[in-house]
Amino acid sequence: MTHNDNYPVCEERTLPAVKRRVFTKRRDVSELPPQNPGTVLVFEVGGRYEAFSERRHLTGAEEAVIDAVTVSVVDVRARLVDVELAIPSANPGNDFLVHVRFGCTVTDAEVVVASRLTNAAHVLREYLRRDRPLVELGCDYRIDELNEVRKLVNARVTAYCRLEQPRVPGLAVELSTVEVLTPGELRTHGGRMQEEAWEQQYTTLKLSGQRGSAEFLRDMISQGPEMADAMALSRGEITAAQIAAQKRADTELEVQNALRVLSLLGNADGLNHIGYDPAHLIDKITQAKLGVQPAPQIAPAGRRRAVTAGQNDDKPGFAPNEDDLA
């Protein structure tokens, strides 16, 4: 089933009189309109109409063809006919556009031609317009109350077509669908509102994701540089070799700083007042940072000994031996 602007009478043509020949009369078939599939030719002969429904080529010698004064092409296939009816709303200048689709089938081609039914949509539009409650249905509703109007219009048209069925001569008509189309301005406004709502949802989701990522990074970083290095390693932002090299550089820097402090204390005669064996302190730093075990020390008497924590700590004026520091 398809749509057709000129339905059910597709074309009408006036025929000239046939000139008599020597022995017979015959109409030139080129004077007849082309007959498409699903159509029949209806000839007007002597004030009556005669449909030629045989599916064969005309020769021009048929009596109705010779005597016809007009010929019409009638579409006899089932068709869908769209009808649009504007009904006023509560907003001046804005109407609700009702779109009704009817299923139509020609039942009598001769009656259709006799009724000059060239535009079934126009006839059906007038049929709907005769229902005053339908025409006035939208007057109490704003244009943005479209969904409520759709329900009411669908119910009204359905009931109207059942109680007062459309009667078109030579045509069987049935209600197919009922719609109330969205006005262009309302569609544009609704589209903008929807786009804005989607944009806000996207922005909220994006900010939520960024906030979650920031909180995750904050928690990871707060657990120390080791956790930060592990996270960078898992993301491929750094290699294990780079982490190891950085660790060695940090350790060497810490040892150098510690030795520099001891050197400054020694130069300022501060080692006599720290209450701690400097040699033992150096051993601890070396062992902790470089993994080197403390070396045995040589006692003043020529014997090798290891300096332990707290040795001679309680003696006033104690100063480490230069050999011990070496």
Q: Inform me whether the pLDDT recorded for 138 exceeds 90.
A: yes
Question: Which of 12-21, 61-70, 133-142 has the weakest average pLDDT?
Answer: 12-21
Average pLDDT over residues 137-154: 93
Half-sphere exposure in the Cβ direction for 285 (13 Å, CA): 18
| Range among 52-66, 88-102, 195-209 rated most confident | 88-102
Give the Cα separation of 227 and 210 in Å (integer): 20
Share the mean pLDDT of the chain: 80
| Range among 15-19, 130-134, 304-308 rated most confident | 130-134
Q: Which residue has the higher pLDDT, 201 or 80?
A: 80
Q: Inform me whether the pLDDT recorded for 137 exceeds 80.
A: yes
Average pLDDT over residues 205-234: 75
Give the Cα separation of 40 and 64 in Å (integer): 14
Q: How confident is the model at residue 161 (pLDDT cuts 50, 70, 90)?
A: very high
Residue 217 neighbours by CB under 8 Å, 6+ apart: none
Question: Which of 36-45, 189-198, 222-231, 255-264 has the weakest average pLDDT?
Answer: 189-198
- Give which of 74, 61, 64 is closest to 33, Cα–Cα: 74
Contact 51, 60 (CB under 8 A): no
Burial of 76 (0-12, 13-18, 19+ CB in 10 A): middle
Q: Inform me whether the pLDDT recorded for 197 exceeds 60.
A: yes
Q: Inform me whether the pLDDT recorded for 10 exceeds 60.
A: yes
Q: Inform me whether the pLDDT recorded for 173 exceeds 90.
A: yes
Residue 253 neighbours by CB under 8 Å, 6+ apart: none
Q: Which residue has the higher pLDDT, 274 or 94?
A: 94
Average pLDDT over residues 71-75: 96
pLDDT value for 274: 59
Q: Inform me whether the pLDDT recorded for 260 exceeds 70.
A: yes
Average pLDDT over residues 286-291: 61
pLDDT value for 238: 79
Average pLDDT over residues 46-68: 88
Q: How confident is the model at residue 254 (pLDDT cuts 50, 70, 90)?
A: confident
Q: Over pLDDT 90: what percentage of the chain?
A: 40
Domain spans of the chain?
9-185, 240-325
Q: Which long-range contacts (CB under 8 A, 24 or more apart) does 296-302 make?
A: 297/323, 297/324, 298/323
Question: Which of 69-78, 178-187, 287-296 has the weakest average pLDDT?
Answer: 287-296
Q: Over pLDDT 70: what percentage of the chain?
A: 73
